[in-house]
Structure formats: structure tokens, C-alpha cells
Amino acid sequence: MTMPIIALVRPISQSIADCQLTHLNRQPIDLARARRQHADYVTALTNNGCQVLKLPQLDDCPDAVFVEDTAIVLPEVAIITRPGAVSRQPETASMATALQQFRTLKHIDQPAACIDGGDVVVDDKTIYVGLSSRSNHAAIEQLAELTGPFGYKVKGVALRDCLHLKTAVTRIAPGVFVGNPDWYESSSMPGQHIEVDPQEPFGANTVELDGVLLRAKEHPASNQRIADIGGNIVTVAADELAKAEGAVTCCSVLIHG
Ligand code: CIR
């Protein structure tokens, strides 16, 4: 029997309109619509093998719905990050409280280090970290020290013009990635790289569940490319939180049994 994946999520903050934005212009966010889309996302997780646990709403932290950035969960250990945006650092405490029942916790705590979980793509024993405005070499070094004892290698990946590594590229199967070639150095990540449709630059972001790929329905041509190579795709509407520079992976932290 497959163990359910535990998915940690958090309700959207009342203050989401004050979210961090790096590469997008600010547009009004319809909170009710964003909440409906988030509820559908949670339902899709539940319908596809996840047991969903809700973290507390944090109205003083506009970006708190994007829980992915606060933790890196591996089979052996979980790392609580030190988010690159100072406004987001208070989000980690409640993530640590929730995660400690599932994994031994380690912390990125070097004063010069910062890293967002959105910059992390794990493929087997390699942890790729996007060298974005949120993640730096000091964090890569500390992550390597913390995960080396479990056999992991940590590798920086050059990024341009996007927020996080997972904006540019995600894994859809072992050694198989979907990405926007304009935004990351694919040669740094050995494996097969499926390109997003050029009309859908944000089409890389994918939640990899057991046998199911959860993706935004706003990227139909890229979804088709993945379906064409055998990907079993489930879609949700995710365009409202996309205005906050968030995508589907950002809204959960997955703990695989
Ligand atoms: C931020 O800039 O931190 C948020 N507005 C968006 C974070 C998206 N998170 C992610 O891609 N993992």
C-alpha cells in the first residue's frame, strides 16, 4: 500500500496585496478568487494521494501562503530555510513546529546564508539550488554540510530573469525536468529536459506527486508536451496567486512517506 504524502499548506493571508514582487508589476489580487483557487488546489492534493495539514494563517506575513520557501524536506531530514526576503523570515517558526513531528530538523542559520525552498530541486542524491536573488553560496555551503552525511551533493544553478529555480525548471520524474531554457542553465542539471511552450514562459512549475503531475491549467501547450511523453497531468486554475509571483509548488511542502 502506498503511504499518503503529507502536504503542509497555509491559508492565504489577508495582507497578500503587500506581497513581495521581484520580476512582476503589482496588480490587484482578488482575495476571494485566490482563496477559491487555493481551496481547489488543496482538493486536488487530497484527491491525488495527499493528507493535507493546515498551518496557521499569518496575516502579518503577506507571503505566508507560499510555504514551500520555508523548508526543504528530504527522506532523512528536513531543513528549515532562512528566506532571502527579510519580511518572510518569521514564517519559518510555525513550519518548524509542524515539521518536527515528521523529520529531524536542521536549520540554515549562518548569518550570511539565505535560501528559499522555491530555489531547490532535488533529483535522487543531488540538490540543485538556483542562484537567485533569494539564495546564495553561503546557504549552499551550509546545506552541503547538513545533507552531506546523508549522501547528498549540492550544486548551484545559474538563473536569470525569474524569481526561483522552480519558476524556471522542475522535476517531473527521476532525471526528467521541464523548464524554460531562457531562465536557467540546463547543462548544470544532467538528464532529459522538456522545454515549455515558448508562449508559456511560466509553464515549468509542477508538483510531483505519486504518479501524478499537478500543474496550472494556464499552460495548456506545455501540459500537452508533458502528456505527450506520458505524464499523467491534473490541472488547477492558479492565475490569481500568480500575480503574487507564486505558482503551484509554492503552496505546499510535501512529506513523502
Ligand atoms: C515572494 O516573492 O516571496 C512571493 N511573492 C512569491 C513566492 C513564490 N514562492 C515560490 O515560488 N516558491
The CATH number that applies at residue 77 is 3.75.10.10
Residues 6+ apart with CB under 8 A from 205: 166, 167, 170, 215, 216, 247, 248, 249, 250
List the domain range (segments joined by +) for residue 156: 5-255
Written as tens digits, the pLDDT of the chain (257 aa) is 578 999 999 999 999 999 999 999 999 999 999 999 999 999 999 999 999 999 999 999 999 999 999 999 999 999 999 999 999 999 999 999 999 999 999 999 999 999 999 999 999 999 999 999 999 999 999 999 999 999 999 999 999 999 999 999 999 999 999 999 999 999 999 999 999 999 999 999 999 999 999 999 999 999 999 999 999 999 999 999 999 999 999 999 999 98
- Separation CA 241–CA 126 (nearest Å): 29
Specify the residue with its C-alpha closest to ligand 1, atom 3: 20
Reference 65, options 98, 16, 99, 118; nearest CA is: 16
C-alpha cell read off for 103: 523529520
CB 196 within 8 A of CB 168: no
| pLDDT of 42 | 98
Of the candidates 164, 193, 219, 251, the residue annotated as catalytic is 164
Q: What is the Å distance from ligand 1's center to 51 Cα?
A: 23
The domain tally of the chain equals 1
What is the CB neighbour count within 10 angstroms for residue 10? 25
Specify the residue with its C-alpha closest to ligand 1, atom 8: 246
Answer yes or no: pTM beyond 0.95. yes
Kindly list the protein residues whose Cβ atom lies closer than 6 A to any atom of ligand 1.
Answer: 19-20, 22, 63, 66, 68-69, 85, 88, 118, 163-164, 166, 244-247, 250
Active site residue 256: no
* Mutational test site, ligand 1, from 120, 163, 207, 248, max ligand atoms within 8 Å of CB: 163
Q: Which atom of ligand 1 is nearest to the CA of 134?
A: 3
| pLDDT of 257 | 83
What is the CB neighbour count within 10 angstroms for residue 3? 11
